[in-house]
Structure 1
Amino acid sequence: MNKAQLVEAIADKMGGRQPAADAVDAVLDAIVRAVVGGDRVSVTGFGSFEKVDRPARYARNPQTGERVRVKKTSVPRFRAGQGFKDLVSGSKKLPRGGEVAVKKAPKGSLTGGAAATVKKAAAKKTTAKKAAAKKTTAKKAAAKKTTAKKAAAKKTTAKKAAAKKTTAKKATTKKAAAKKAPAKKAPAKKSTARKTTAKKATARR
């Protein structure tokens, strides 16, 4: 039986093929996420799913017989429950008339076990999303600070450039004024020379 056949098998009980497909996907997704996160998923009367770590070891290639080193890895493991084992071995008979082969969980037991595992997986996912959102916000804030610093640096550079231009203009103005000043004093020297010549002429007379 493949997944499509499993969906068809429970479609009548779920009220249609689409609800059955959604239910199968939801159950399998919850189990996979929980096992990947390191939690154990236990279904009463059916079995349990868990993550098992395998240490590094040496194995032999079946084709060449060569010794090969296998790295440390993690694998999923399913262990059948006692009720499932009894049904497969034939010590117990399957119920007839559409009854559920696996016993339903007793009332109040859904607060732990598989239900708790599913809740933990959902909580971990939410926490991961919040952490990612915080990192994104921090990056945006850092980018804004960097942009503000660059803008301030540009303003400071512009002010310094303006101050240099003003200083250069003042220096140029002073030099020009200094050059013009001697030119104005020249006529005064000529008038002094005229007065001296006039005095000499009067003395000769």
Structure 2
Amino acid sequence: MTKKDIAQAVAASTDVSAATAEAVIGAALDAIAASLAKGEDVRLAGFGAFETRERAARTGRNPQTGEEIAIAASTSVGFKAAAQLKRAVNG
């Protein structure tokens, strides 16, 4: 499902246009991304929590040559589903 598909589903279940729904969803996703960029956790009740995770620098290998390469430290985004979402998905 794409952002456009979500916007169309929201528009169908409310009295707003698809363009308005897409703009609202885009703004919400931008707000989530901005909060994560600042290192803040984002919790959506009944859905789940997004959090940033620090990944340490490490040594990796090129699978074709076996040559060792240095992988720099980075920050990644993790998601933990809420129990309510897990129940909905599992039936």
TM-score of the two chains, using structure 1 as the length reference: 0.41
In the alignment, the residues of structure 2 paired with residue 22 and residue 6 of structure 1 have an alpha-carbon distance, to the nearest angstrom, of 11
Identify the residue that residue 86 of structure 1 maps to in structure 2. 87
Match of 1:11 in 2: 11
Give the AA of the match of 1:6: I
Q: Which has the larger radius of gyration?
A: 1
Q: Distance in 1 between matches of 2:50 and 2:5?
A: 22
What is aligned with 1:69?
A: 70
Q: Secondary structure at the match of 1:64?
A: coil
Tell me which stretches of 4 or more aligned residues in structure 1 moved more than 6 Å: none
Could you tell me which residue of structure 1 aligns to residue 57 of structure 2?
Answer: 56
Structure with greater contact order relative to length (CA < 8 Å, sep ≥ 6) = 2
CA distance in 2, matches of 1:42, 1:14: 27
Matching residue of 1:169: none
Aligned to 1:23: 24
Q: Which runs of 5+ in 1 are unaligned?
A: 91-205
TM-fit CA distance, 1:14: 4.8
Task: Tell me the alpha carbon deviations over residues 167-195 of structure 1, each in whole angstroms, 9 at most, x when there is no partner.
Answer: xxxxxxxxxxxxxxxxxxxxxxxxxxxxx
Deviations 1:14-53 (A, max 9, x none): 5111220111011101100000001000011111111111
Q: CA RMSD in A?
A: 1.4
Give the Cα–Cα distance (whole angstroms) in 2 for the partners of residues 33 and 53 of structure 1.
17
Q: Which moved more, 1:44-53 or 1:10-19?
A: 10-19
Using the size of structure 2 for normalisation, the TM-score is 0.87
State the identity as a percent. Answer: 36
Letter in 1 for 2:18: R
Structure with the largest fraction of strand = 2
AA of the residue aligned to 1:19: T
Q: Is the 8 A contact 1:14 1:20 kept in 2?
A: no
Shift in CA distance, 69/30, structure 1 to aligned 2, threshold 3 Å: same
Greater fraction helix: 1
SS in 2 for 1:65: coil
Q: What are the superposed Cα offsets for residues 43-101 of structure 1, whole Å, 9 maximum, x if unpaired? A: 111111111111111122233333222111111111111111122222xxxxxxxxxxx
Aligned-partner Cα distance in 1 for 2:15–2:26: 13
8 Å contact from structure 1 (residues 60, 66) kept in 2:
yes
